[in-house]
Amino acid sequence: MTCTTCPYCGVGCGIVVGPDNSIQGDKNHPANFGRLCSKGSALGETLDLEGRLLAPQIGKREASWNEALDLVAGKFRAAIDEHGPDSVAFYVSGQLLTEDYYVANKLMKGYIGSANIDTNSRLCMASSVAGHKRAFGTDTVPGNYEDIEQADLVVLVGSNLAWCHPILYQRLAAAKAERPNMNVVNIDPRRTATSDLADMHLAIAPDMDAALFNKLLVALHDKGKVNGSYVEQHITGFEDALNAARTDMDCGLSDKDIAAFVALWAETEKVVTIYSQGVNQSAVGTDKVNAILNCHLATGRIGRAGMGPFSVTGQPNAMGGREVGGLANMLANHLDLENPNHRNAIQSAWQSPVIADRAGLKAVDLFKACAEGKIKALWVMSTNPAVSMPNASEVSQAIENVPFTVVSDIMARTDTGDLADVLLPATGWGEKSGTVTNSERRISRQRAFLPAAGMARPDWKIICDVATRMGYEDGFAFTSPAEVFDEYARLSLHTAQFGRDFDISGLAGMSAEQYDALEPVQWPVKKDGTTTERFFAEGEFYRPDGKAKMLAVTPPRNIPQPNFLRLNSGRVRDQWHTMTRTGKTARLGQHIAEPFAEIHPIDAKNIGVKDAELLRLSGENGRALLRVLISDRAQVGSVFAPMHWTAQFAANGRVNFAGNSVTDPVSGQPALKGAVVSATRYDAEWYAFAAADGDITSGRPYVAKMRSDTGWRAEIAGVKSPDCWEQEARATLGLTSGDALIFEDKRRGTIRIAIIENGVLRGAFFAAKSPVSVARGFVTSLIGTQDAQHVLAGVPGADQPDPGATVCACMSVGKNTLRAAIAEGALTVEALGECTGAGTSCGSCKPELQALLRDIPSLKVAAE
Ligand code: SF4
């Protein structure tokens, strides 16, 4: 058995891996107590080596490690010598372990002498970091997960916790079930799976969260709910913040809803406000964070059980990256780059030749510098900016413009890796050893239980190997992650003098065995072994005067943009980032099998598009083609689209093209949820569904493919019907041999083709003039069988009910099965579980079971 940690989201769930690589939740891990969501449960299905990068590559040819490392070190050395330290850059990732992050940051800031290292966490929570620092003086998350369970009111702002942090959501849902008087408020322009748990859903106008929290601050004051003694002793800026808050702004909510929210907040002492990307990914993200913090500070509802602001991070080790100084404007141990004493302390601990003395390029600026030719050598580690950055097409061109780009990744093909001069194979989850920090400051071990794939090496080792070849062997002579961690923990001995929040000196001096056995532990862990469970109940903030600062926040006016939609990009339940791992498992692909655009019926009518047709979204820098999902969950004037689909899975599914690179002026975080797009119906002449035992390829404008249990499945559409449908089918399915069974219904304009070889069904192709109506699960289940005779019917016989689109990925229960069970009288989530098994494993689908029970049309995307 190996105890390790989930590599997906910032909840940081503990996992127990069995000798047969079976995956279970770790009952002893304080983040999840044995639970896992659908993504975590399916980790065992992502361990195969298909698609893995198994050896270094220079250009498209395989190379030895020595050759590749020499080339990387030589190119970086030459760029620095010729153009200076700021001519090189690292773009790293919240997927890295703390040890990887630590050495990358040390190399760039302490040896190369530039701070041009930024991370994809910039896209996720930089505004929370900046908001924390402005208010508290440090990037401190004051509370812990138990607070969410102990609160009497939980306010979720810009957070679809049910899908993006499912285990935290389950803890919240369980607490609410146990204490029905607990109230949950969900503030989100869009009604989501999380809203279904909420007592109150406030469909706020996009980006107007600060206006609402300003109204709350004023109301708290006017109702006499300000904690006068706390404010007097521990806060500055109260009056300014209150005066700014008095500027009345329309936040898109009715007076009645605002009054109800304010009354609930004012009358409930134990309030936790959880916020996430909906707050952070904005041009005013830091102000939104501070508007939230202001309300907690004014009432002193912070740092005590069941109360406080709570930023939840997207990535598994976004917090670890913040702690080691993995952002371009930070130093390790939450110290400040602009403070000479802080810099001296870090440099003397490292005994490094230099220390960066000014902030480096933040993500958006970093890629702009690439486009402008200022970056001569770029190293992208464990991330896919060609997809995930705003304005992704321009970012791709910017990367191409860099004279030398190296990408270290686990996958051979990613949109960014395709642009690299050198690819370096990194070890994947299961092969890596190190630590991560979750959203509640809890450091957990990730432990290896698999040998490294092919020639893959851990990221920390690759970085040290390059550093050594650059002439920095003294600072990078680590032989294990335990040694890296020990140096990192010892750094706290040098920085504790500054009295900052982050201190893990109590973990210094561990042996390799102790490191290996390290139990999940929340920082700080001071030299004397003491910790701080929650921060700021008694003030003791980290600003120079020891007080917190309330910020005067003036939200922007919400200016409607007629004829345009505001693009809200986000996540779906069963996929992770750009699907490089979750895309490997067929089970996860059945929940939502293609990229979609969710719009309100009023917008759909104005555009003239019907459900399941295709929508063309056009932004400043590109276009996407997505399946339309018409739902009153969307707000009029907005479109929601998932950000997971890349060129590897969809022809035109990337939605981050649309960002115009506007960033929050304080945090540098891109306004990923603030792009403006025009939307038009795409006039497809034909639509198709295809399933095959091998990969599916099509040059048509709309292609979205996904793995199935029997191979691949795909949705396709084109503007002009092909001359020969059999040729189209064979080319798409990659099947040149075998017999084709063809059934054409000219009256209905449909064609159905099955390719059978040696009696086995190898592929099926269904085309129609309108979105194809076919039982997709049924068709894919027949691929590879000798039971090919039924496939052209497209639906199972009466004796074989079609389960419909998958709702419960763990137990493979479809929507039709659930509807039938509801019709039979299963009228609670528990009853549905008993009848069908749905929701009885990881529980991630419970919000959708609730939605079905309430007869809310939740997901029509993967058409039944
Ligand atoms: Fe992994 Fe799910 Fe836990 Fe997040 S909630 S850490 S994705 S198991």
**Model pLDDT for residues 272-317, shown as the tens digit of each residue:** 999 999 999 999 999 999 999 999 999 999 999 999 999 998 888 8
Alpha-carbon span 273 to 260, nearest angstrom: 16
Looking at the chain, the whole-number percentage of residues with pLDDT higher than 70 is: 98
Q: How far is the CA of 485 from the centre of ligand 1 (A)?
A: 24
Percent with pLDDT over 90 in the chain: 73
pLDDT at residue 659, rounded to an integer: 62
Q: 238 C-alpha vs ligand 1 centroid, how far in Å?
A: 38
Structure confidence at residue 861 as a pLDDT band (50, 70, 90): very low
**Which atom of ligand 1 is the closest one to the Cα of 38?**
2
Is residue 9 within 6 Å of ligand 1 at its C-beta?
yes
The predicted pLDDT at position 799 comes to 67
Contact 345, 335 (CB under 8 A): yes
Task: Give the number of the atom of ligand 1 that is nearest the alpha carbon of residue 36.
Answer: 8
Q: Measure Cα distances from 215 to 79, 183, 186 in Å.
A: 52, 20, 17
Specify the higher pLDDT residue, 595 or 656: 595
- 437, 77 contact by CB (below 8 A): no
* Residue to probe by mutation, ligand 1, list 4, 5, 11, most atoms within 8 Å of CB: 11
**pLDDT level of residue 858 (50, 70, 90 thresholds):** very low
843 lines ligand 1 (CB under 6 A): no
Check: CB of residue 221 under 8 Å from CB of residue 298.
yes
Give the Å distance between the CA of 163 and the centre of ligand 1: 10
Rounded Cα distance between 412 and 396, Å, is 17
**Which residue is closest in CA terms to ligand 1's atom 2?**
37
- Tell whether the model's pLDDT for residue 443 goes beyond 80: yes
Q: How far is the CA of 32 from the centre of ligand 1 (A)?
A: 8
Alpha-carbon Rg for the chain, nearest whole angstrom, is 27
Q: How sure is the predictor about 773, in pLDDT bands with cuts at 50, 70 and 90?
A: confident
| Alpha helix positions (H), 705-837 | 725-733, 776-782, 815-823, 829-836
Write down the pLDDT at residue 763: 96
Residue 15 near ligand 1, beta carbon < 6 Å: no
Looking at residue 822, what is its pLDDT? 87
The mean pLDDT value for 475-491 works out to 97
The alpha-helical segments, DSSP class H, found in 405-561 are 459-469, 481-495, 512-516
Residue identifier of the C-alpha nearest atom 4 of ligand 1: 9
Task: Give yes or no for residue 864 having a pLDDT over 70.
Answer: no
Atom in ligand 1 nearest the alpha carbon of residue 15: 8
User: Mean pLDDT over all residues of the chain?
Assistant: 92
pLDDT for the residue numbered 215: 97
* Interatomic CA distance for residues 173 and 180, integer angstroms: 10
Q: Residue 663 has which token pair?
A: 């960033």
pLDDT of residue 368: 95
Sheet harboring 711-718: ordered strands across? 702-708, 711-718, 686-692, 760-768, 750-757, 739-745
pLDDT band at 855 (very low <50, low <70, confident <90, very high): low
Ligand 1 atom closest to Cα of 168? Answer: 5
Model confidence over 526-567: pLDDT tens digits? 999 899 999 999 999 999 999 999 999 998 877 777 788 999
Q: pTM of this prediction?
A: 0.91
With 0-12 CB in 10 A as exposed, 13-18 as middle and 19+ as buried, what is 44? middle
Q: For residue range 606-653, what is the model confidence (pLDDT) as tens digits? A: 999 998 999 999 987 788 999 999 999 999 999 999 988 888 898 888
What the block records as the tokens of 348 is 């003397």
Q: What is the pLDDT of residues 794-818, one digit of tens each?
A: 887 766 677 777 888 777 788 888 8
Nearest 5°: the CA angle 846, 847, 852 is 95
Tokens matching residue 692: 């095959």
Mean pLDDT of 265-270: 97
**Which amino acid is it at 715?**
E
What is the rounded average pLDDT of the residues 732-761?
93
Ligand 1 atom having least distance to the Cα of 316: 6
* Average pLDDT rounded to a whole number, residues 701-717: 94
CA-wise closest residue to 35 among 794, 841, 620, 577? 841
Residues 683-700, buried b or exposed e (16+ Cβ, 10 A)?
Answer: ebebbbbbbbbeebebeb
C-alpha closest to that of 124 among 383, 379, 372: 383
Distance 581 CA to ligand 1 centre (A): 14
Sign (positive/negative) of CA torsion 649, 809, 97, 117? positive
What's phi and psi for 833, nearest 5 deg?
-60, -45
Which amino acid, 325?
A: G
DSSP H helices in 558-705: 586-589, 601-607
**Structural tokens at position 455:** 């020639």
Q: Is 229 helix (H, G, I), strand (E, B) or coil?
A: helix
Question: DSSP per residue over 22-71, as a string?
Answer: -EEE-TT-TTTTT---HHHHGGGGG-S-TTB--S-EETTEE--HHHHHHH
Which atom of ligand 1 sits closest to the CA of residue 37?
A: 2
Amino acid 859: pLDDT? 41
- Supply the pLDDT for residue 777: 87
- Residue 222 identity: D
- Around 721, how many Cα atoms within 13 Å sit in the side-chain half-sphere? 13
Higher-scoring residue by pLDDT: 620, 730: 730
Assess whether pLDDT exceeds 70 at residue 145.
yes
Instruction: Report whether residue 595 contacts ligand 1, using a CB cutoff of 6 Å.
Output: no
Q: How far apart are CA 456 and CA 482, in angstroms?
A: 19
Please answer whether residues 202 and 261 qualify as being in contact, where contact means their C-beta atoms are separated by less than 8 angstroms. Answer: yes
| Mean pLDDT of the 18-23 span | 93
Do residues 409 and 426 lie in contact, with contact meaning Cβ atoms separated by under 8 Å? Answer: yes
* End-to-end alpha carbon distance in the chain: 40
Which numbered atom of ligand 1 lies nearest the CA of 12? 6
∠ CA 817-819-821, rounded to 5°: 70
- CB-based contact 293:131 (threshold 8 Å): yes
Ligand 1 centroid–CA 290 distance in Å is 28
Residue 327 reports pLDDT greater than 90: no
Ligand 1: nearest atom to the Cα of 6: 1
Tokens of 782: 């027949």
Q: How crowded is the C-beta side of 150, counted as CA atoms within 13 Å?
A: 13
Determine the distance separating the centroid of ligand 1 and the alpha carbon of 455, expressed in angstroms. Answer: 29
Centre of ligand 1 to C-alpha 438, Å, is 11
663/503 Cα distance (integer angstroms): 31
Has residue 602 got a pLDDT over 50?
yes
Say if ligand 1 is within 6 A of residue 6 CB.
Answer: yes
In angstroms, the CA 96 to CA 779 distance is 40
Q: What is the pLDDT of residue 843?
A: 74
253 alpha carbon to ligand 1 midpoint, in Å?
33
Determine how many CB atoms are found less than 10 A away from the CB of residue 463. 31
% helix / strand / coil in the chain, to the nearest 5?
A: 35, 20, 45
CB contact set of 827 (below 8 Å; sequence gap of 6+): 853
DSSP state at residue 688 = E
36 close to ligand 1 (CB < 6 Angstrom): yes
Neighbour count for residue 221 (Cβ, 10 Å): 17
Alpha-carbon span 803 to 789, nearest angstrom: 20
Q: Which residue shows structure tokens 């960002």?
A: 659
Residue of 577, 173, 623, 569 lying closest to 383 (CA atoms)? 577
What pLDDT digit, counting tens, does each position of 652-692 carry? Answer: 888 876 666 688 999 989 888 888 899 999 999 999 999 99
Residue 5 and residue 15 in contact, taking contact as beta carbons nearer than 8 Å: yes
Tell whether the model's pLDDT for residue 15 goes beyond 50: yes
Q: Which of 566, 139, 461, 552 is nearest to 331 (CA)?
A: 139
